[in-house]
Every structure is written in structure tokens, then in C-alpha cells.
Chains A and B, each alone.
Chain A
Amino acid sequence: MNISRRQMLILLPAAAVAWEYAVAGTPEQSPNYKMSDHWWGMLIDIPKCIGCGNCVRACRTENDVPEGFYRTWVERYHVSDEDMTQPEVISPHGGENGFPVAAEDDKKYFFVPKMCNHCADSPCTQVCPVGATFVAPDGVVLVDQKYCLGCAYCVQACPYGCRYIHPQKETADKCTLCYHRITQGLTTACCEVCPTGARQLVDLKDPKDPIHEFLKTHSVQVLKPQMATGAKAFYYGLDGSVR
């Protein structure tokens, strides 16, 4: 074959590109985990929550969440029957060390655990200018720490206030739904340590998951449904005063 210098110059880079594309390819996380078989979410059973803060502490330990930042936190609502639009809400240190003792009065109390809702139509992923945050094929909203610029658009876009800028990494950080755990068949750290079963990891694509029966027989709500985020943190017993 007779190739001129000019042809060679054109062919070499083209061949390099073609070759790299041919050998590229990323295997899935673990051999037993198939992303397309799952669609993860969370069920939060408000009447069961006692506000012990186990979930908040476990999340910090499991995911090395820096002090002062929270991937999950617990709020305590105190609502009067006259004006439920003005609830008194406290969350001292995210409920990490529990809550002060509440005295009985004529208003109602309840705890609301909060976390990333792992929205199917997530506003946070839509605003990312570089494709660093995304809804994974199994429904978990994740942040690519190596790709994130730390512009914080997503922090502003999240209607639930679930994101923060990690002080050391200077990238967006959030609940991963313990992705490293659920991909190997474990439940999330918060669900593992919840003493009353107020939190349950659910897989909406698993026909044997009890969530299907629960959703069929209970009134379940998501936070800010009017924003059509496709939130997958399902709240049972959610009060109208919760925002």
C-alpha cells in the first residue's frame, strides 16, 4: 500500500479516535447488580418517627458527612388547630442528638424526617451546566464529584434544600441513597438503624417489595407535589402544614 505523508497525517488521528472508542466501555458496578432492574425510593412513616436522630448520626458516619452539614435531618412540627399555615418547626443540629422534651399542650406535635427525594424529574439535575449530577438508570440522583465545578446551581434548584457544597471537596454533595450499600443488596444506613421502621428503602421495580401493597392500601403523599418533581420519598401520615 502506498500512502503519502499527507494521507498518513489525516489517517493517524482518525484511527486513534476510532480505536479508543472501540475499546472504551464501563462495566456495571457489581456483577450481581443490574441498574435497569431497580427504581429506588423511600417510604417515610411519620406516625412511627420518635425523633431519636439515629438516622442523622448513621448517615454522618456512613457517608463521612462533614460537621454542620446534613444529607438527612429530622424536623419537629408543632401545629395549632387554628392556624396550620404557621407551624413552629425546630431541628436542632438536624435532630442529630434528639429533641428537647416537649410538654403536652393543645397543639399537635410530630416529627418529619427529610432527605433527598430522588426525584424522577429532578430540578437539580436539569440545571447542572456540565452533566455532573444526574438521575441514574435505577432512579437515584447522584453527583459526580470529579466532574462537579461547585457552581451551586443545583443547591439553589433543589426545592427541598437537600444539597450543600462540601467544604473540603468544594463540590455539590447530597444523599446518594447509600448507593454503595443498595448496589450490594444492603439497605441504607438510615433505614438500617431506624428503631421503629419509620424509614424503609423501597424498590418500585421489585414486584415482591411490600411498598406496592402499602401504596395500594394507604394514603401516601410526597413533598411539594405541585412542583411535579416526581419525588420518590413517599410520606405516610404527612400533615398539611409540612412544606
Chain B
Amino acid sequence: MSTFKNAGHLFRFAGLFVLAFLVFLVVRHYVVPKSFGQYGHYRGAAMGEIAAHPTKFVGHETCEACHADEAAKKQAGKHAHLSCEACHGAIFQKLPADQPKLNLYGRFLALVGKSLPPDVPILHHAEDPTTVKPVLPDTAVLCARCHTASAAKPKGFPQVNPAEHSNGVPCDTCHQPHSPAIDAGGAK
């Protein structure tokens, strides 16, 4: 026992170190997110958050579930390989977003003038076809985007000079967009 006779101050000091280390562990525990380091030097939960973003383009399979007739027409023509949303776009409307309840970090962000706006929830045409109505695409813009002749486009791609080709007459006057070739019964 005599070895430690004059070492009381060292024990007190060592005790302080242990205490500081425990405080560090506790603080670290609350500051470092739970999933940090789960897969690597990042927050594993971030992937789930990114994956929760609402989907706006639902894919042609979803469209075809109801619009089988249009799909069949398209399948028979030159536009068979196009997805419905390539021309019709994503058909949805934005819903009012709930103001998220801010956690401590969110309040800190707001304090420093930074905010992370939540993903805007949407209502898709496929979920509610009566409320969310599709807009008929404007063929003058839509067809021209792909089919206006330009030296920059691949040579094999069908291209026309709209002014010469139709003289301002809308494309869908003659062509049926789902199966556009006139000689293949695509005429309107």
C-alpha cells in the first residue's frame, strides 16, 4: 500500500480523465447519427431517405394497365419502342406539403438560415385519373423536337423540314401519333 502513499493526486487526475472520456462518449453518442458507419464513412439512413423521393414517371407498364388499346396501336407502329411518357410526360399534380416538425438539427438549420424543403407529395394520374387530367401534347412542338431535319442528327433517323413538309398544318392532321406511318394505316 505504501507504493501509492503519495499518489492520491494522480488518482484524482486519472479519475478526471475517465470522467472526460465518458462525457465524450455520451456527447459523441448523441451527436453522431445512429446509422453513421453502418456501411462506410457516411450515414446509412441517407440512402433510405433518398429512395423515399416520390416517383413521377410511372413507366409504360402502369399506363398500359388501363390504356391497352393505345398500347396495341403503338405496338403495331414505328413508335413501338417509345415509352408513353416520352411524349405525354409525367402526369401528376403537386399536393400541399405538410410543414415538417423540426427536430433539434432542423431548428439549428433554420437558425442559420438554411432549410431542407421536404419532398413535395404528388397525386399521380394513375392513382386518381378523374382528378388529375392529362394534357394533350402539342404535336407542333412535340413532333418537331425529334423529327425536324438537322445535319446534327443521325442520318438514319426520320427527319423532315416542317415548313416544306406540312406548311404549318399540324402533324396530327395526317399522322396518328401512336402509329405515325401513313402507308401502314397510320393516317387519321
Residues of A within 8 A of B (CB): 10, 13-14, 16-17, 20-21, 24-30, 35, 47-54, 57-58, 61-64, 76, 78, 97-99, 101-105, 109-111, 131-134, 136-137, 142, 144-147, 150, 168-171, 176, 179-181, 183-184, 186-187, 189, 192-197
Contact = CB atoms under 8 A, between A and B. Distances in A.
Interface in B41-74: 41-60
B59 A187 contact: yes
5 contacts: A10-B22, A24-B35, A29-B51, A134-B41, A136-B47
A145 to B, nearest CB: 6
Interface string B132-170: 000000000000011011111110010000000000000
A146 B46 contact: yes
A147 B151 contact: no
A176 B52 CA distance: 12
A60 to B, nearest CB: 10
- Residue of A10, A64, A193 ringed by the most chain B CB atoms within 10 A: A193
Given A26-B44, A48-B154, A180 B57 contact: no
A61 B146 CA distance: 19
A8 to B, nearest CB: 13
A40 to B, nearest CB: 13
B153 A50 contact: yes
B85 interface: yes
A57 B146 CA distance: 14
Nearest to A109: B152
A109 B151 contact: yes
Contacts of A27: 48
A99 B152 contact: yes
B116 A145 contact: yes
A186 B63 CA distance: 14
Contacts of B16: none
Interface in B4-39: 18, 22-23, 25-26, 29, 33-36, 38-39
Given A50-B154, A101-B150, A147 B51 contact: no
A16 B26 contact: yes
A131 B154 CA distance: 43
B96 interface: no
Most buried by B among A58, A144, A194: A144
A53 B116 contact: no
B90 interface: yes
B188 interface: no
B57 A58 contact: yes
B150 A142 contact: no
Given A180-B52, A180-B53, A52 B150 contact: no
A113 to B, nearest CB: 13
A103 B151 contact: yes
Contacts of B35: 24-26
Given A136-B47, A142-B47, A193 B86 contact: yes
